[in-house]
Chain A
Amino acid sequence: MTLYTSTVRTPAPKSRLWAKIGENTLYAVALPLVLLLVWGVAATISPAKFFPAPQMIAGAFSATWIGPAFLDDVLPSLARLAVAIVIAVVVGVVAGTLIGLTRWLRELLEPLLEFFRAIPPPVLIPVFVAFLGVTDTMQIIVIAFGAIWPVLLNTIEGVRATDSVMTETARSFSLTRSQRLFDLVLPAASPRIMAGVRQTLSVALIMMVISELFYSSSGLGYQIKFFQQNYLIAEMWSGILLLGLIGVLLAVVFGFVERRVLRWYHGIKEVERA
């Protein structure tokens, strides 16, 4: 199951390295390029009403979003999203840890939390709009409220089931309670928590889009809807593309953070597979 660190590894020759890089790049871009090409050609030959050619979308993209629109619509949307995510993750982890470690509290809240998590988050938007009107704060709160459940419930689950041998080890070395929490319970729960954070991120994005598409008069989502209603097809597509890029950006950032925080976890998995 484990590796011996005594094996000697000789570095691969330079030429092989370049060939490897070339091969990887080829695989990475081949299919997307081919698809874009096919789309571009098909769109130029017989333009479909709602599917403009990629080059038109690219043009609309730079025309629409690179400029003042970025500051007026995109940045505020992203800011709201970021704040909401931070609130959801922080509150989720803190509350989740507290609840997960306190047995009676957990048993008290469990059915309630499971119910709240089962509610499709967008359904809460009309409720919050009725409460708080359509403001920036409302948007942030509604995104956070909808997105908190995965990270909250995953933290509860992760924190309550620490390996018994690890706990006994901590006890046998008389670790203090705060040491146990920060050096044992939380690191041991981190894979579970990170899985929850990933889901929280995607729910937050959904909530941002919905709340802006239909309950707002500014922001990225609103702009996309505006384009759609005014048949500015290429611009609409560029907006969708931008949303896609934001989603990808979130995923990439999360990927970095996760790989760093869970480096040990991925390491174990790799070794187990060997």
Chain B
Amino acid sequence: MPETLLQVNSLNKVYESATGRVEAIGDIGFTMNRGELVCIVGPSGCGKTTLLKCIAGLLRPTAGDVQLDGKRVTSPPEKMALVFQEYGRSLYPWLTVRGNVELPLKHKKLTRAERTQLVDDALLAVGLDHAGGSYPWQLSGGMQQRVAIARAVAYQPEVLIMDEPFAAVDAQTRADLEDLVRRLHSERGMSILFVTHDIDESVYLGQRVIVLSKSPTWVQEDLTIDLAPERDQITTRALPRFTELRTHVYEQIQRAKRGEAVRTSA
């Protein structure tokens, strides 16, 4: 029975900048159930990263709140793990791959054996079990992002948040990483909130796609992806239903960019 894991209520964030007030997020609300894979897309500059940072507890919203498991998020919650877009700056270059994956576990009350187990498991899950002793900068971009994902997985969060993680990675690697995310979701039942600007990616990955409007941002559409749960880069993307869905999302984004969508009362 699906239970609500994450709840975003009327989130609003305003920045004071040198040129004036900037309302990054207008009014965003949605829920996410346990075990779901939800994608968030929107036009460029619609505040996706701001939204994620508010959800992750790294930023204080100006109004509204975020609730994880019924508890209000005011600072980075223990049950959440974040994968950043800039993997090069998010991994610590003085630590090996193993060291990076293990670091967040150190303050959790675990024995060394338990930690090692988690690290081994996570590295295996992302396919980097042979690269434990290397340094991040010795690896390719795709592999570095896998390390970041492994780090999040080892942390055993309830919800995994990914902020455009594959934007800086080449197309072939991106396909592999997308399948990795799907695997993590199906094999481990992880709840994943995935932000992307890539429309195809959002439809391929998600069970739901949330389309954001232009700034001041609100939820323009909450679309359920009724594709089969078993997906494949070649066949799924060739399905007519896939094309319908992606065209629909694309049109929504175009409308969002032009500011045509009208806000229905919440």
Stretch of B73-81, B109-117, B213-221, B243-251 at the chain-chain interface: B73-81
Q: How far is the CB of A195 from chain B (nearest CB, A)?
A: 16
Closest-CB distance, A23 to chain B (whole angstroms): 29
Is the CB–CB distance between B90 and A165 below 8 Å? Answer: yes
CB of B84 within 8 A of CB of A168, answer yes
- A163 at interface, CB cutoff 8 A: yes
Q: How far is the CA of A271 from the CA of B89 in the complex (A)?
A: 15
Q: In the bound complex, do residue A172 and residue B82 qualify as a contact, i.e. CB atoms below 8 Å apart?
A: yes
Q: Say which one of A89-97, A142-150, A176-184, A217-225 lies at the interface with B.
A: A176-184
Query: Number of contact residues on B: which range applies?
Result: 20 to 34
Contact B138 A267 (CB under 8 A): yes
* CB <8 Å contact, B138 and A187: no
**A4 contacts across to B, CB distance below 8 A:** 140
Those of A249-274 within 8 Å (CB) of chain B: 264-265, 267-268, 271
Among B76-104, those with CB < 8 Å from A are: 76-78, 80-82, 84, 86, 89-90, 92-95, 103-104
Docked-complex contact B107 and A176, CB < 8 angstroms: yes
Q: Are B107 and A267 in contact (CB under 8 A)?
A: no
CB-defined contacts of A163 to chain B, threshold 8 Å: 89
- Chain B facing A: main interface SS: loop
Contact in complex: A2, B84 (CB < 8 Å): no
B241 to chain A minimum Cβ distance, whole angstroms, is 36
What is the CB-to-nearest-CB distance from B31 to chain A, in angstroms, rounded to a whole number? 22
Interface string of B122-159 (1 = CB under 8 A from A): 00000000010011011111011000000000010000
Whether B175 sits at the interface, judged by CB under 8 Å, is no
Question: Please, which residue of chain B has its CB at the minimum distance from the CB of A178?
Answer: B107
Say whether A166 faces chain B, with CB atoms less than 8 Å apart: yes
Q: Knowing A165-B86, A168-B58 are in contact, say whether A174-B78 is a contact too (CB < 8 A).
A: yes
Given A2-B137, A2-B138, A2-B139: A169 touches B82 (CB 8 Å cut-off): yes
Any A CB within 8 A of the CB of B106: yes
CB-based contact A179/B107 at 8 Å: yes
Q: A166 near B92 (CB under 8 angstroms)?
A: yes
- Contacts A169-B84, A179-B106, A268-B137; A2 near B92 (Cβ below 8 A): no
Is B25 among interface residues, defined by CB-CB distance under 8 A? no
B-chain residues with CB within 8 Å of residue A188 when the two chains form the complex: 92, 94
Closest to B78 in A: A174
B56 at the binding interface (Cβ < 8 Å):
yes
Asked if A190 is an interface residue, CB under 8 A from chain B, the answer is: yes
Does residue A10 face the partner (Cβ distance < 8 Å to B)? no
Q: Is A175 an interface residue (CB 8 A)?
A: yes
> In the complex, which of the residues A5, A174, A183, A264 has the most CB atoms of chain B within 10 Å of its own CB atom?
A174
B128 vs chain A, min Cβ distance (A)? 10
A31 close to chain B: CB less than 8 A: no
Residues from 170 to 192 in B contacting A, C-beta threshold 8 Å: none
Known A-B contacts A2-B144, A165-B84, A166-B89; A174 and B138 likewise in contact (beta carbons under 8 Å):
no
User: B89, B131, B134, B137 — which one has the most chain A CB atoms within 10 A of its CB?
Assistant: B137
Please report the C-alpha to C-alpha distance between residue A173 and residue B140 in the assembled complex, in whole angstroms. 24
Chain A hits for B139, CB < 8 A: 2-3, 5
Question: Is A171 on the interface with B (CB-CB < 8 A)?
Answer: yes
Q: How far does the alpha carbon of A1 sit from the alpha carbon of B87 in the complex, in Å?
A: 14
* A214: min CB distance to chain B, Å: 43
CB distance from A5 to the nearest CB of B (A): 6
Taking each of A173, A187, A268, which has the highest tally of chain B beta carbons within 10 Å of its own beta carbon? A173
Whole-angstrom distance between the Cβ of A191 and the nearest chain B Cβ: 10
A to B CB contacts below 8 Å, 18 in the list = A1-B141, A2-B137, A2-B138, A2-B140, A2-B144, A3-B139, A165-B89, A168-B82, A171-B58, A172-B56, A172-B58, A172-B80, A175-B104, A179-B106, A184-B92, A187-B92, A187-B94, A190-B94
Closest 3 CB pairs of A and B: A173-B104, A165-B89, A172-B82
